Amino acid sequence: MTTVGILGGGQLARMMALAGAPLGLRFLVLDSVADACAGQFAPMVVGDYTDEAALAEFASRIDIATFDFENVPAQSAQWLTDRVPVFPNPRALGLTQDRLAEKTLFRELGIPVPDFMDVADRAGLDAAVAKIGTPCILKTRRLGYDGKGQFRLRDDRAETLDAAWHALGAQVGRTGLILEAFVPFEAEVSVVAVRGRDGEFRTWPLIRNWHVDGVLSASLAPAEFSAGLEAQATAHARTLAESLDYVGVFALELFLRDGKLMANEIAPRVHNSGHWTIEGAETSQFQNHLRAVLGLPLGSTRMVGHACMLNWIGAMPDAKPVLSESGGHWHDYGKEPRAGRKVGHATLREDSPQALAETLQRVGVALERVDQVAPVIEALRSR
Ligand code: AMP
């Protein structure tokens, strides 16, 4: 009997536990919050990621460890690595925790990135804005996610720089800061990829994503840009995976501008833009992650039809309009509603882009979410 330990007990851990059940796996989740939603399906150790007693108990009850949350302190990941196999490795985890290290690696590997500069103090912000130009985005180097810890500068007036520093300057000692050029992208895409312990590498079809206020709102697969673009995105993901000796699933998020790709960031874990793989692919990202970290053969990442995932933020809508669709799938994470919180998602799957556009139209109207489905329908109809 193999027990997989998961650091972090959110919806990703929960969906991993559900995907691992048919493989006969057991799970143990470590989270600082007792009502973390993965705890509804797996036993938990409640404690902070830096609490050595909690980590020791966790390590003593598992055969292997992985993550649902990438901001686990590097020391804790290393401490665990000395006791049990941990995938992905702490180096890959540590690198993706720091936007500056991550973008520097992209650049070293020849993967295009928006211009960026480290900002160490207020004068550094002036210098970075002078070099990069506006519009640009000031971001925390560490601990930012879903658009949190970001400030957009539309111009280089003194008031704008003051406002940016007022918003994030206090973070400089704790998280570091980075200034990035703003990319007026035509589309955001992601590649979800998996690499096995033996180096076998697979990707799911390229995914198109739409964000609202920095948070993922909808994903569409396949994205159906040119085959050349998909090959380029896949090649970048493979280069990164090999350079980091990565084992497991990760997502590479990219901007598409003037027919070219630019990397934004890597998420060293199963990813929200890959949730559609549960019903839309031969093997889901969750099951392939487990197969990869356990050294089992990877499953096919072949897609079945066309899929759109809609995120539910804040509160769950009525399930019936989605459940009434033959290709409709509902995921309620069992969380308390709270503004800005990811509480669930739906995946709509159909055999053709036209059928998917019609289904999304019906669901969007029934749930009063026309704005959320509109850009996806437009992308499907432009094919
Ligand atoms: P991040 O936390 O870096 O993934 O940012 C969240 C979202 O903010 C991205 O998915 C984009 O929609 C937007 N964003 C972040 N960085 C940039 C950038 N350099 N240029 C344009 N949009 C950006």
110, burial (CB in 10 Å: exposed 0-12, middle 13-18, buried 19+): exposed
Q: What is the pLDDT of residues 88-139, one digit of tens each?
A: 999 999 999 999 999 999 999 999 999 999 999 999 999 999 999 999 999 9
Is there an atom of ligand 1 within 6 Å of 135 CB? no
Q: What is the reported pLDDT for 339?
A: 94
Q: Environment class of residue 92 by beta-carbon count within 10 Å: exposed (0-12), middle (13-18) or buried (19+)? A: buried
Q: Whose CA is nearest to atom 9 of ligand 1?
A: 214
Q: Sign of torsion, CA 30 36 39 45? A: positive
Ligand 1 proximity of 144 Cβ (cutoff 6 Å): yes
* Percent of the residues in the chain that have a pLDDT greater than 90, as a whole number: 93
Contact 356, 348 (CB under 8 A): yes
CA 82 – ligand 1 centroid, Å: 35
Distance CA 333, CA 344 (A): 5
What CA–CA distance (Å, rounded) separates 298 from 291? 6
Query: What mean pLDDT do residues 371-376 have?
Result: 98
Say how many Å lie between the CA of residue 267 and the centre of ligand 1. 13
Query: Residue 297's closest CA among 23, 15, 3?
Result: 23
Whether the predicted pLDDT of 352 surpasses 90: yes
Q: Facing residues of 137 across strands?
A: 152, 180
Q: Report the SS3 class of residue 65.
A: strand
Distance separating alpha carbons of residues 61 and 54, to the nearest angstrom: 11
Is the CB of residue 68 below 6 angstroms from any atom belonging to ligand 1?
A: no
Q: What SS3 state is found at 266?
A: strand
* Residue 12 per-residue DSSP state: H
Q: Pick 383 or 195 by higher pLDDT.
A: 195
Q: Is the pLDDT of residue 11 over 90?
A: yes
pLDDT, residue 224, reads 82
How many helices (DSSP H) and strands (DSSP E) are in the chain? Answer: 14, 17
Q: What is the mean pLDDT of residues 8-21?
A: 98
DSSP code for 59: H
214 Cβ inside 6 Å of ligand 1: yes
- Count CB neighbours of 222 within 10 A: 17
Mean pLDDT of 163-179: 92
Residue 4 Cα to ligand 1 middle (Å): 33
198-250 pLDDT tens trace? 999 999 999 999 999 989 999 999 998 999 999 999 999 999 999 999 999 99
Residue 290 scores a pLDDT above 70: yes
Q: Given a cut of 80, is residue 147 above it in pLDDT?
A: no
Render pLDDT for 46-74 as a digit per residue (tens, 0 to 9): 999 999 999 999 999 999 999 999 889 88
Sorted by where each starts, the structural domains of the chain and their CATH numbers stand as: 3-86 (3.40.50.20), 115-181 (3.30.1490.20), 187-381 (3.30.470.20)
Mean pLDDT of the chain: 96
Please count the residues of the chain.
Answer: 383
